[in-house]
Amino acid sequence: MNIDQTTLQDLAIFHADEDQSVLNKLDFTQTIGGRHYLVHLLSHPHQQLPLILETQQTLQLVGNKLDQWPSQISNGTIMVLEKFYESQIDRIPFQPTPVGALAYKLFHGPDYSLVRYTVGHATEFLKGMQQLLHLFSSAGAPPLLQKKLDRIANLLQKDTARQMLQAPSKEQISPATSLNWGYFLHNRYKAAIFELIDIFSQLDAYYSLAKAVQVYQLRFPEFTTSPTPIMNAEGLWHILLKQPVTYELSLHLESNFIFLTGANMAGKSTFIRAVGIASYLAHLGMAVPARRLQLTVFDGILSNIQVSDNIIKGESYFFNEVQRIKNTLTRINDGGKWLVLIDELFKGTNVQDAMRCSSTVIKGLLKISNSLFVLSTHLYEIAEELKPHANIAFRFFETHVHDDQLFFSYQLKEGISNDRLGYLILKREGVVEMIDRL
Report the pLDDT value the prediction gives residue 313, as an integer from 0 to 100: 45
289 in the same domain as 252? yes
374 in the same domain as 288? yes
Which of 216, 234, 256 is where one domain is finished? Answer: 216
CA dist 45 and 43 (Å) reads 6
173 in the same domain as 252? no
User: Has residue 274 been placed in a domain?
Assistant: yes
Note down the domain range covering 416. 222-436
Answer whether 244's CB lies under 8 Å from 25's CB: no
- What is the crossing angle of helices 75-86 and 32-43, to 10°? 110
CA dist 79 and 95 (Å) reads 26
User: Has residue 22 been placed in a domain?
Assistant: no
User: Has residue 174 been placed in a domain?
Assistant: yes
Report the pLDDT value the prediction gives residue 250, as an integer from 0 to 100: 97
User: Has residue 48 been placed in a domain?
Assistant: yes
Answer whether 116's CB lies under 8 Å from 89's CB: no
User: Phi/psi at 44 (nearest 5 deg)?
Assistant: -130, 75
246 in the same domain as 194? no
279 in the same domain as 134? no
114 in the same domain as 180? yes
Helical segments of 138-173, H only: 143-155, 159-165
Which of 188, 216, 244 is where one domain is finished? Answer: 216
Amino acid at 137: S
Helical segments of 309-407, H only: 317-332, 351-365, 383-386
229 in the same domain as 204? no
Report the pLDDT value the prediction gives residue 139, as an integer from 0 to 100: 65
236 in the same domain as 191? no
Give the Cα-Cα-Cα angle 97, 102, 103 (nearest 5 degrees).
Answer: 95
Answer whether 293's CB lies under 8 Å from 221's CB: yes
303 in the same domain as 177? no
CATH of the domain at 345: 3.40.50.300
User: Has residue 326 been placed in a domain?
Assistant: yes
Answer whether 240's CB lies under 8 Å from 255's CB: no
User: Has residue 39 been placed in a domain?
Assistant: yes
How many C-beta atoms surround the C-beta of residue 12 within 10 A? 22
Nearest residue to 76 (alpha-carbon basis) of 112, 28, 30, 109: 30
Amino acid at 421: L
Q: Quote the DSSP letter at residue 48.
A: S
Question: To the nearest 5 percent, what fractions of the chain are helix, strand and coil?
Answer: 50, 15, 35
Which of 216, 231, 254 is where one domain is finished? Answer: 216
User: Has residue 23 been placed in a domain?
Assistant: no
pLDDT digits (tens), the chain, 438 positions: 999 999 999 999 998 787 789 999 999 999 999 999 999 999 999 999 999 999 999 999 999 999 999 999 999 999 999 999 999 999 999 999 999 999 999 999 999 999 999 999 999 999 999 999 999 987 678 998 999 999 999 999 999 999 999 988 777 899 999 999 999 999 999 999 999 999 999 999 999 999 999 999 999 999 999 999 999 999 999 999 999 999 999 999 999 999 999 887 889 999 999 999 999 999 999 999 999 999 999 999 999 987 654 543 445 778 888 888 999 999 999 889 999 999 988 877 788 898 999 999 999 999 999 999 999 998 889 999 999 999 999 999 988 776 666 677 888 999 998 776 666 677 777 777 788 887
Q: Name 215's Cβ contacts closer than 8 Å, sequence gap at least 6.
A: 28
46 in the same domain as 121? yes
163 in the same domain as 249? no
382 in the same domain as 233? yes
CATH of the domain at 126: 1.10.1420
**Structural domain count, the chain:** 2
User: Has residue 11 been placed in a domain?
Assistant: no
Q: What is the dihedral of CA 150, 155, 158, 161, to 10 degrees?
A: -110
Q: Name 66's Cβ contacts closer than 8 Å, sequence gap at least 6.
A: 207, 210, 211, 214
Amino acid at 144: L
